[in-house]
Amino acid sequence: MPKEEGASSITRSTSFYIDTNILQGAIFGRNTQDVVFLDKARENNWEVYTSIYTLLELLDTAKDRKFLMKLVIDKGMDVSTFLRERKEKTLHGEDLQEVATQLNNFFLTYKFVKFINIREDDWKLVKKLAESSNLHSSDILHLVTAWVGNCQILITHDRFFVEEGNKILQKENVSGTLKIHKLEEIGKVPRTLSLKAQVANQ
């Protein structure tokens, strides 16, 4: 990934980091907008990144869905019981393989989505932000990964992540190179409009 100084137009060289909830919407069919974004990214050769931590979160969600289907739908267990037992799942090898295959097939379909991860030294930054901000630790991991991975735009559906994350970036003097946006904001940005101009208009 080339390092970008300042804001740049949404072009082939624009690098996006996508939060877990964007991929969840695309994989599980919750949000057509997520699929549309990924298809648009592929058509326009945008650089799209996420992290191994995202994959772990997706696996947890997929396992919860599978466990829910087995217990609530197949066996009639009430949802409150499911919520109590979800941390002690009894999924077997065939179930786990089905979950893994679903995710693997998704990333084969969208193989332009690449994985980046933080380095050992970056955990100091993770710890610092965890101690000094209101963000959940999972959001901090995504933020730091996008930051050290030189991504320019982090997209999410989480309004609080947008608000608190951008405060952190501004405080750390990196808001000129990385900005957090809700996905629907990206959909409204003309490709010729620079990120700097978009932010100035907000």
Mean pLDDT in residue range 137-159: 96
Mean pLDDT in residue range 37-61: 92
Closest CA to 48 of 154, 148, 193: 154
Give ∠ CA 11-15-17 in degrees, rounded to 5. 135
pLDDT for the residue 54: 95
pLDDT for the residue 6: 33
User: How is the chain split into domains, by residue range?
Assistant: 15-51+112-201
pLDDT for the residue 93: 86
Q: Which amino acid is at 64?
A: D
Residue 194 has pLDDT above 80, yes or no: no
Sheet strand arrangement including 179-182: 113-115, 47-50, 15-18, 153-156, 179-182
Residue 188 has pLDDT above 60, yes or no: no
Residue 20 has pLDDT above 70, yes or no: yes
Measured between alpha carbons, how far is 29 from 104 in angstroms, rounded to an integer?
Answer: 16
Give ∠ CA 121-124-126 in degrees, rounded to 5. 110
- CA 195 and chain centroid, separation: 19
Map tokens 């019981």 to a residue.
81
Domain 15-51+112-201 coded CATH 3.40.50: yes
Tokens read off for 57: 């979160």
Measured between alpha carbons, how far is 30 from 14 in angstroms, rounded to an integer?
Answer: 26
